[in-house]
Amino acid sequence: MSAIKHAYIGRLIGDQRGESLIGFAFVLPLLLLVSLGALEFTLVGFDFHRAGEATRRAARIAVIQDAVIDAADFSIGETATCTGTGTGVNCTGAGIGSAATFTAIVADMQSVFPSIAADNVQLVYSDSGLGDATTPGGIIPLVTVRLINFQRPFRLISGIPGMPDNFTFPSFETSQMGAGLGPASS
C-alpha cells in the first residue's frame, strides 16, 4: 500500500496541468491595474483637450460680446480681473459691466466640458497699449480667459492604495485682442 501511495504522491508532485491557472491568478491583478490605469489616463488626456478647447471658445466669446467689466472704470495701464463665484462674478480693478456675458462664457465652456464651474473661470482685461480713451473705439484691451483650480476625479483607479483621488489640471490660458472700451465712432 505504501508503494501505491508513494507513486500517487510522486505523480501529484510532477503534475503541471494547473500551473498556468495559478500563474494567471498572480498576473491578473497586475493586468487589471495596468489596463484601468491606461484607460484612466487616456480619459485625463481627453479631458485636457476639452479644457483647452473650452478656454479657446470662451476667449472668442469674451471679445465679441459686451465686456464683463464696466468700460468707464478701465483706463490706460490698468488691469481688471473678473473671477466667477458660486452665484455670479466678482471683478477687481473695475466694476461689473455685463454679468450676463460672464454667464454666457461659462455656459459655452460647459457645453464643451460640463464639469467646469463658474469659480474655475477667470477673465483678465489688461491694457494692450493700443487705443486711447478719448478716441473713437477707446482703449483696446487684451482679454485673457483662464481656467483655474480645475480638478478631475479619478474614477477607475481611486480605490487603489497610494493613488490620489483626483488630477489637478494646470491653468489653461488663452488671450485675444478685445473690442475697444470707449466711445463709439460717430
Task: Point out the residues of the chain with pLDDT beneath 70.
Answer: 1, 6-7, 10, 12, 14-15, 133-137, 181-186
| Domain with 170 in it | 14-177
Quick check: 111 and 129 in contact, CB under 8 A? no
What's the pLDDT score for residue 49?
95
Residue 81 located in a structural domain: yes
Residue 101 located in a structural domain: yes
Residue 184 located in a structural domain: no
Number of domains in the chain: 1
What's the pLDDT score for residue 173?
93
Residue 5 located in a structural domain: no
Segment 66-82, tens digit of pLDDT: 888 887 777 788 888 89
Residue 155 located in a structural domain: yes
Retrieve residue 118's grid coordinates.
463658474
Segment 4-30, tens digit of pLDDT: 776 677 676 766 777 788 888 889 988
Alpha helices in 76-174 (DSSP H): 99-112
Residue 50 located in a structural domain: yes
What's the pLDDT score for residue 68?
87
What's the pLDDT score for residue 148?
92
The 10 Å CB-count burial string (b at 16+, else e) for 162-171 is eeeeebebee
Retrieve residue 41's grid coordinates.
489616463
> d(Cα 148, Cα 119) in Å, to the nearest integer?
8
What's the pLDDT score for residue 52?
93
What's the pLDDT score for residue 186?
38
Radius of gyration of the chain (CA): 29
Q: Which residues contact 72 (CB under 8 A, 6 or more apart)?
A: 95
